[in-house]
């Protein structure tokens, strides 16, 4: 791909022209929010849901986004269109903006807004066929009274440290727990286990991000006759599950076949995980906001 076109503070410009101040509080302090969004087959998937979560995060941070949700949605579509993409990973970032070296957000009058449309492959294609080996992380997710997991903030150091640990452990992904020892998430994914045909995923109260792919999979599962429960579970229950899989905008749906050297089920992607991936990919390919409304998309 040639030079990327980036939405930067109201304009779509070549990547090389994007200049972020060294005094931007997103850079200095991680003070900001983001969304990762997908486009499939010429359509932006779940755009309204992503924008709703973005503006909810902004409200909690008292961060005033300088565009309406409608204008932001149009900017997302225009950015994908400017890069001539049918399938894309979109990163929408809103930082507190240029300020001083102090923490006070009141000294940052103008938020910085950036939209990137590009490609992403979180895991190699072979792992979607063979399944993902994982390990449990020594890193704990912060409790909700420390850092609210429902705010999709720029502070991802907790996940970065877990990814460092993944490299040291020789696995591509880690399973994180909360301070009570309950399984909560991967480094950037929601977790499901399967027991006797039932799907079980941690509740929001466990300290997880309310994933949009997670919610979509839960809806699709119920529509196709599966029972879905939101319940706390431990590593012991994950080790002894019939199946396990992860969901996320970047990861989509991927089976987990081991954790800490214990095979999950028979150590191969299970029937339920494969069915959920098929249902999700089929749904994503046919639903979304048109990027090229006057062009036929099959």
Question: Residues 236, 242, 248, 250: is their CA dihedral positive or negative?
Answer: positive
Mean of the per-residue pLDDT values of the chain: 96
Mean pLDDT of 185-197: 97
Q: Which phi and psi angles does 161 have, rounded to 5°? A: -65, -40
- Does 59 qualify as catalytic in the annotation? no
- Model pLDDT, residue 294: 74
Residue pLDDT, tens place only, 7-18? 999 999 999 999
Mean pLDDT of 233-243: 98
Question: With bands split at pLDDT 50, 70 and 90, how would you rate the model's confidence at 150?
Answer: very high
CA distance 262 to 239: 6
Residue pLDDT, tens place only, 246-258? 999 999 999 999 9
Higher-confidence residue of 298 and 286: namely 286
Q: Which is nearest to 289 in space by CA: 70, 84, 82?
A: 70
Q: Which phi and psi angles does 73 have, rounded to 5°? A: -60, -45
CA distance 190 to 192: 7
Residue pLDDT, tens place only, 23-60? 999 999 999 999 999 999 999 999 999 999 999 999 99
CA distance 115 to 95: 12
Question: With bands split at pLDDT 50, 70 and 90, how would you rate the model's confidence at 175?
Answer: very high
- Model pLDDT, residue 297: 45
Mean pLDDT of 70-75: 98
Map out the domains of the chain with their CATH numbers.
5-118 (3.30.470.10), 125-284 (3.20.10.10)
- Model pLDDT, residue 295: 61
30 touches 153 (CB < 8 A): yes
The predicted model scores a pTM of 0.94
Residue appearing with tokens 């997908």: 38
CA distance 61 to 153: 9
Which is the catalytic residue, given 46, 119, 152, 163?
152
CA distance 110 to 120: 30
Residue 119 has pLDDT above 60, yes or no: yes
- Model pLDDT, residue 277: 98
Q: At what angle do helices 47-61 and 212-223 cross, to 10 degrees?
A: 140
What are the helix and strand counts (H, E) for the chain?
Answer: 8, 16
Question: With bands split at pLDDT 50, 70 and 90, how would you rate the model's confidence at 244?
Answer: very high
- Model pLDDT, residue 121: 87
For 122-137, give one letter per residue: b (16+ CB within 10 A) or e: beeeebbeebbbbbbb
CA distance 54 to 76: 13
Q: Which phi and psi angles does 118 have, rounded to 5°? A: -155, -165
Residue appearing with tokens 């779940």: 46
Residue 103 has pLDDT above 80, yes or no: yes
- Model pLDDT, residue 296: 53
SS3 135: strand
Q: What DSSP character marks residue 295?
A: S
Say what percent of the chain tops pLDDT 90: 94
CA distance 262 to 272: 19
Side-chain-side CA neighbours of residue 265 (13 Å): 22
């Amino acid at each position: 791909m040639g030079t990327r076109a980036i939405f930067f503070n109201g304009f779509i410009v070549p990547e090389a022209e994007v200049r972020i101040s060294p005094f931007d509080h997103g850079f200095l302090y991680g003070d900001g929010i983001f969304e990762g969004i997908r486009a499939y087959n010429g359509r932006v998937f779940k755009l309204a849901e992503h924008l709703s979560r973005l503006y909810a995060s902004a409200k909690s941070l008292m961060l005033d986004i300088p565009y309406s949700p409608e204008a932001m949605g149009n900017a997302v579509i225009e950015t994908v269109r400017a890069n001539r993409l049918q399938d894309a990973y979109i990163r929408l970032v809103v930082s507190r903006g240029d300020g001083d070296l102090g923490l006070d957000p009141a000294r940052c009058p103008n938020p910085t807004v950036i939209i990137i449309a590009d490609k992403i492959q979180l895991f190699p294609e072979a792992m979607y066929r063979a399944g993902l080996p994982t390990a449990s992380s020594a890193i704990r997710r912060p409790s909700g009274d420390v850092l609210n997991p429902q705010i999709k903030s720029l502070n991802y150091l907790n996940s970065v440290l877990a990814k460092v640990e993944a490299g040291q452990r020789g696995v591509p992904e880690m399973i994180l727990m909360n301070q009570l020892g309950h399984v909560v998430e991967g480094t950037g994914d929601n977790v499901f286990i399967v027991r006797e045909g039932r799907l079980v995923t941690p509740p929001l109260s466990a300290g997880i991000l309310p994933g949009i792919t997670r919610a979509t999979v839960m809806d699709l599962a119920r529509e196709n006759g599966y029972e879905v429960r939101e319940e706390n579970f431990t590593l012991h229950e994950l080790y002894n599950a019939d199946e396990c899989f992860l969901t996320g905008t970047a990861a989509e749906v991927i089976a987990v076949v081991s954790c800490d050297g214990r095979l999950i089920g028979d150590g191969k992607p299970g029937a339920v995980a494969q069915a959920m991936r098929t249902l999700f990919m089929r749904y994503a390919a046919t639903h979304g906001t048109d990027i090229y409304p006057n062009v036929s998309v099959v």
